A and B are shown apart, each in its own frame.
Chain A
């Protein structure tokens, strides 16, 4: 057991690409956690997707042993928190396990909105924040300006020498200042508190499935001691388990005799599904346990839903199996079977947010080699139904346009809203405001700091769910950052819009939209489908309709000419290859009536493009 005064638990807050992973690697290296050779680049991001996108999805911890200049050896627990708003709850659990944070800011880029949101969260957890200005080796680095910006925007001291409370200047790349970072950590972040003799209370920070160990649970012990052989109870989940292993990561997995108060480590307890080890739960002993769980537990709440269908209908079983396996490792998404007239059998899945959706989708295609059609993402609508002869009035939650009730029964509809914070160089402000306005946004704040603007909007989630983020990135050339939190339900005049191709409704393209934008959306969808559906031998009308009323229409002209001018003996093989390609293409098409719609069209039709 380590003396509480020698423990430091901290996380690193950074905007994407500001150097969080690189700095973490440096810290690990400086504390002898791994030799140069053992470091695969960026130790902390484990999954391929994490590495590629530079986003941490699961929390990770590393325990470091640092002998400081005062001659004492400290136990440093570095907590790598998920780095995206979709995982805000997971982030909050990780933060709750720490007493401080390093705020890493790129010396050339300065403070970004996402950084701010995380800093505020960290401040809410009473963290001591140590600013680190990274990448000072860059020619474009302006550490003084960035230090001032941190003081101005974040409101913590950053100017002056680090020993007097200023920011640590570092280059994670070259290793410069890494020693200072460690010294600042020890000097400025307070040690945890806790009572070894009190009943066990450990916070379940994160959990994941390991094929060899079963479910591995990341814990922060508040009071008491976690040991192998202990019978524990999960206070929220209500289950009991026998702890069969306790340990920590250095970053290699290392077994320990115990995890004492103030410490962070992992346990395994022969648990097969992560669903049984929910983030935020409190672990206590079965005998003589705590009577009250730690505050702040929340059930995971999917907010975005979409249909997932195999491109090749024969892959349905494979999809079922793969989703099941993924779910073993991620309890935060939900799924149930769905069938669509056009797409056959698939699943309706719920996610914490758009990134989460993309990650699951990508993992399914990458790790399980599945080709998927994803239908338009939808949010959850709360629909108030009036009384009928046979049924009382009731309130239902709808997350699939296919389940939209008969309009005559609908009394009112509520939709989820968010508060979005966008931070951007002010030159892009105009188009960004227009984008928010077009998406039914209500501006609540706008401030300028230097050449940057921070704007907050309240927006209906269904306007953001699809391509808002992509659009924002493209109109700001990647400079704007975006962050959101949910702010509850509001009534909205929403309607279901159907798309008809050659007079047949295409269920996978149905969409819930606000009445005021329906016509414009319908027109956009029809126009895009016109480009996405190949010309056929006959002309194809494409219509958008609300109920029986057509609100937009386009026509795909019949193909006029498609004939190879020259085809002699030497050309047969080439023509045949073309035919083979067509056969392959057919497997990726869906037939509605006589019209073949390419798989890509389903998702692309919904991209609102340049409005």
Chain B
């Protein structure tokens, strides 16, 4: 059984107003202590997972590009000695495109990172300001060039469907992005998450999010544009030249096992769901007490696993093999999803069903959450 490893680095230089990740701003951190803590957390995971080699590792955050390269190196060395690396292992690190971080790219590549995902977010200066990013557009382009020099694969993120953003403006920006010669792009529509500064701003009327219709149009047109450019969407927001998909993220969507270490990291392995302590300080003290940072570990009933697999799997363009998936959890397809609803959804052209697989149509993808709810629950959520 394959296994993926997620490592969470919780620190950021400042908090972005749209961000609801487990990120914390701290003056400084004790790199040595974190190395000891994360390696200990990792050893715990290796003691409870199979010893198949790792197929992917992902450093997420927070801002893992702020990690000292030696720390990254020591963690990768530890991981390899614990599990071993499968041939062609994908090792991704999320990076912010500032000049300071770009200075570390060479050392990170040397440590074993072979893929980076850059949080560029926009190529427009004004938008970067609105999004509260620390880097300028020029700095981002420079960091991208350096990254492309050092890493085999470089992906970057853009945030679109921003307040007042027109289709023309967005597609202009997207075309420029495509011209930067990347094989993987994550394009996220801006959503206002509860508890973020943007949520407060919206409540206070500081700005109005783009309306649903425009956002829907942009979403469809973006996928269209990306297909034409040779980087079709393989997931809701992820686009890649065929073969350049993120192996690590596919593990999530195909609902295969992954171990998650570091503050707030989630894991799914051996039919259990794990969550680490979110707050960095609490995480470290848990490590000191228990040798691992687990705050909660729960055996997932088979049906729950199957439902999770459906809701993750349908995000993918390839969809799911319903019979096989149900079978994986000892269920039949009809006990897992409502056959009546499935039929209706096919009639409404939101879902496509072949002998083997069911997948969302282009118009269905826009309504994915509701479609999943219909299939698994049979009733819509109140909007």
Does A302 interact with chain B (Cβ within 8 Å)?
A: no
Considering the complex, which residues of chain A in the window 531-562 have a beta carbon less than 8 Å from any beta carbon of chain B?
A: 534-538, 559-562
Does B131 interact with chain A (Cβ within 8 Å)?
A: no
Minimum Cβ distance to chain A for residue B162 (Å):
13
Known: A562-B368, A563-B367, A565-B188. A585 touches B381 (CB 8 A): yes
A561: chain B residues at CB < 8 Å are: 212, 215-216, 219, 366-367
Minimum Cβ distance to chain B for residue A146 (Å):
45
Segment with Cβ contacts to B, from A28-36, A253-261, A361-369, A573-581: A573-581
A591: chain B residues at CB < 8 Å are: 379
Minimum Cβ distance to chain A for residue B236 (Å):
6
CA distance in complex: A576, B306 (Å): 11
CA distance in complex: A391, B283 (Å): 83
Once the chains bind, are A569 and B382 in contact (CB under 8 Å)? Answer: no
Does B369 interact with chain A (Cβ within 8 Å)?
A: yes
Does A586 interact with chain B (Cβ within 8 Å)?
A: yes
CB-contact partner of A569 in B213, B266, B366, B381, under 8 A: B266
Does B151 interact with chain A (Cβ within 8 Å)?
A: no
CA distance in complex: A566, B376 (Å): 20
Once the chains bind, are B366 and A560 in contact (CB under 8 Å)? Answer: yes
Does B156 interact with chain A (Cβ within 8 Å)?
A: no
Minimum Cβ distance to chain A for residue B167 (Å):
15
Once the chains bind, are B379 and A596 in contact (CB under 8 Å)? Answer: yes
CB-contact partner of A562 in B345, B367, B377, B379, under 8 A: B367
User: Of all chain B residues, which has the CB nearest A571?
Assistant: B266
Considering the complex, which residues of chain A in the window 582-611 have a beta carbon less than 8 Å from any beta carbon of chain B?
A: 582-583, 585-586, 589, 591, 594, 596, 598
User: Of all chain A residues, which has the CB nearest B189?
Assistant: A565
B219: chain A residues at CB < 8 Å are: 561, 563
B344: chain A residues at CB < 8 Å are: 594
Once the chains bind, are B191 and A565 in contact (CB under 8 Å)? Answer: yes
Once the chains bind, are B249 and A534 in contact (CB under 8 Å)? Answer: no
Minimum Cβ distance to chain B for residue A153 (Å):
48
Binary flags per residue of A374-398, CB closer than 8 Å to B gives 1, else 0: 0000000000000000000000000
Does B304 interact with chain A (Cβ within 8 Å)?
A: yes
Minimum Cβ distance to chain B for residue A582 (Å):
5
B252: chain A residues at CB < 8 Å are: 567-569, 572
User: Of all chain A residues, which has the CB nearest B235?
Assistant: A567
CA distance in complex: A573, B268 (Å): 10
B376: chain A residues at CB < 8 Å are: 579
Does A445 interact with chain B (Cβ within 8 Å)?
A: no
Once the chains bind, are B237 and A582 in contact (CB under 8 Å)? Answer: no
Scoring A563, A576, A582, A589 by chain B CB atoms within 10 A of each residue's CB, the highest score goes to: A563
Does A296 interact with chain B (Cβ within 8 Å)?
A: no
Once the chains bind, are B377 and A586 in contact (CB under 8 Å)? Answer: yes
Binary flags per residue of B348-382, CB closer than 8 Å to A gives 1, else 0: 10100000000000000111111111101111111
Considering the complex, which residues of chain B in the window 205-231 have a beta carbon less than 8 Å from any beta carbon of chain A?
A: 212-213, 215-216, 219
Does A161 interact with chain B (Cβ within 8 Å)?
A: no
Does B107 interact with chain A (Cβ within 8 Å)?
A: no
Does A295 interact with chain B (Cβ within 8 Å)?
A: no
Known: A559-B370, A569-B267. A576 touches B308 (CB 8 A): yes
Minimum Cβ distance to chain A for residue B9 (Å):
13
User: Of all chain A residues, which has the CB nearest B296?
Assistant: A573
Once the chains bind, are B260 and A579 in contact (CB under 8 Å)? Answer: no
Q: How large is the interface on B (under 10, 10 to 19, 20 to 34, 35 or more residues)?
A: 35 or more
Does A430 interact with chain B (Cβ within 8 Å)?
A: no
Does A570 interact with chain B (Cβ within 8 Å)?
A: yes
B304: chain A residues at CB < 8 Å are: 576
Once the chains bind, are A582 and B215 in contact (CB under 8 Å)? Answer: no
A447: chain B residues at CB < 8 Å are: none
Once the chains bind, are A579 and B216 in contact (CB under 8 Å)? Answer: no
Known: A565-B191, A579-B376. A537 touches B367 (CB 8 A): yes
User: Of all chain A residues, which has the CB nearest B161?
Assistant: A565
B378: chain A residues at CB < 8 Å are: 586
CA distance in complex: A568, B61 (Å): 12
Minimum Cβ distance to chain A for residue B183 (Å):
20
Does B265 interact with chain A (Cβ within 8 Å)?
A: yes
Does B59 interact with chain A (Cβ within 8 Å)?
A: no
CA distance in complex: A596, B373 (Å): 13
Does A408 interact with chain B (Cβ within 8 Å)?
A: no
Considering the complex, which residues of chain A in the window 514-546 have a beta carbon less than 8 Å from any beta carbon of chain B?
A: 534-538
A562: chain B residues at CB < 8 Å are: 366-370, 383
Does B6 interact with chain A (Cβ within 8 Å)?
A: yes
Minimum Cβ distance to chain A for residue B229 (Å):
20
Does B53 interact with chain A (Cβ within 8 Å)?
A: no
Does A564 interact with chain B (Cβ within 8 Å)?
A: yes
A579: chain B residues at CB < 8 Å are: 307, 311, 372-373, 376-377
CA distance in complex: A560, B251 (Å): 29
Once the chains bind, are A586 and B379 in contact (CB under 8 Å)? Answer: yes
CA distance in complex: A300, B330 (Å): 61
Known: A559-B370, A583-B377. A534 touches B382 (CB 8 A): yes
CB-contact partner of B307 in A535, A568, A576, under 8 A: A576
Further contacts, 20 of them, CB under 8 A, given A573-B273, A585-B379: A534-B381, A534-B383, A536-B380, A537-B350, A537-B374, A560-B212, A560-B366, A562-B383, A563-B368, A564-B368, A567-B236, A569-B258, A569-B267, A572-B266, A573-B266, A576-B308, A578-B381, A582-B381, A586-B377, A591-B379
**Chain A: residues with CB nearer than 8 A to chain B?**
534-538, 559-570, 572-573, 575-576, 578-579, 581-583, 585-586, 589, 591, 594, 596, 598
Q: Can you offer 22 A-B residue contacts whose CB atoms are under 8 A?
A: A534-B381, A535-B380, A537-B345, A537-B350, A560-B212, A561-B212, A562-B383, A563-B366, A568-B249, A568-B252, A569-B266, A570-B264, A572-B268, A572-B273, A575-B308, A579-B377, A581-B381, A582-B377, A585-B379, A586-B378, A591-B379, A596-B379
**Chain B: residues with CB nearer than 8 A to chain A?**
6, 22, 60, 188-189, 191, 212-213, 215-216, 219, 236-237, 249, 251-252, 258, 260, 264-268, 273, 275, 304, 307-308, 311-312, 315, 344-345, 348, 350, 365-374, 376-383
